Amino acid sequence: MLSPPLKPDRVYFSQVNIMNMMRFWALSLGVTSLLMFQPTAQQARPQTAQQVLERMAQAMGVAQAAKIRTIQLTGAMQSPAQGLQGRYEVFYKAPDKVLVKTTIQGLGEVLQAYDGKVGWAKDPMMGLRELKGAELEQIRQSAESGVQNDIRKVIRNPKLTGQEKVGNHTAHVITAQSRSGSPIKVYIDTQRYLLLRMDMQAPTPQGSINVATFFEDYRKVDGVMYAFTTRQSASGVEAVTKVERVRHNTPIDDAIFRKPKN
């Protein structure tokens, strides 16, 4: 459900929410956006979370992902109810680097990155800061999983809890925790084993927010399936991101991931 039009006293709060969602989008993308379809009809129906995740790992194309050393994504985002739109770029470099650059009209540029050791963020509201605690752990997980394309590496204690509908699809439902201990719930298509939805808590400077993310419009790029449309809902704000271009194995200078001096 879309939020009602903003009242003047809600503008600042909404801007914080949208920036928080953009930060979270960067983190979730690395875990969930590289999913590959492979037929599974001849395989026995999985009985445990581990079996579902193994089937998903096969569908994600881990072998193909192993050949990818860098990824560059570009696209557009919008928050229809708030009348906001923007552009983004995401850079991944194996084994553990990520940079997300989001420019939102009327708000400015939001940067978030991890260089293999240091995580940092920069935006018009809080300026330049170094990430700590849960924020650091989540962006580290994103950096490590962005090229590896294996969600099993960033969740703990998965449990298969049944099946639910996500739109017109039936999905296996798995509950788990991130490495920092926050709850995660994933919905995996029972036929194609593509990720349909993920619910999790995203750490922000103002505290954790609950975010539901839906993955749609899968397309194959160099043997790997990408969700070209991602819809997120958090704190009454809905954001839609659309991938426009995917580039693999293009040279990326390590310097872009390093924390700037100011």
The class level of CATH for 8-257 reads mainly beta
Instruction: Tell me the pLDDT of the chain (262 aa) as tens digits.
Output: 222 222 223 233 344 555 555 555 444 444 444 433 333 344 667 889 999 999 988 887 777 888 899 999 999 999 888 888 999 999 999 999 999 999 988 889 999 999 999 999 999 989 999 999 888 988 888 888 776 667 787 789 999 999 999 999 999 999 999 877 889 999 999 999 989 999 988 767 667 788 899 999 988 888 888 889 999 988 778 889 999 999 999 999 999 999 998 8
DSSP conformational letter for 46 = P
**Could you tell me which residues are beta bridge partners of residue 102?**
88, 110
Contact predicate 89/111, CB 8 Å: no
pLDDT in tens, 59-68: 877 778 888 9
- The residue ranges of DSSP E strands in the chain, in sequence order, are 70-79, 84-93, 97-104, 108-114, 119-123, 127-130, 155-166, 169-178, 183-189, 195-202, 209-221, 224-234, 237-248
pTM (two decimals): 0.78
Helix (H) or strand (E) segment spanning residue 30:
helix 11-32
Contact predicate 224/68, CB 8 Å: yes
Domain positions in the chain are: 8-257
Residue with tokens 């619910």: 199
- The residue ranges of DSSP E strands in 115-223, in sequence order, are 119-123, 127-130, 155-166, 169-178, 183-189, 195-202, 209-221
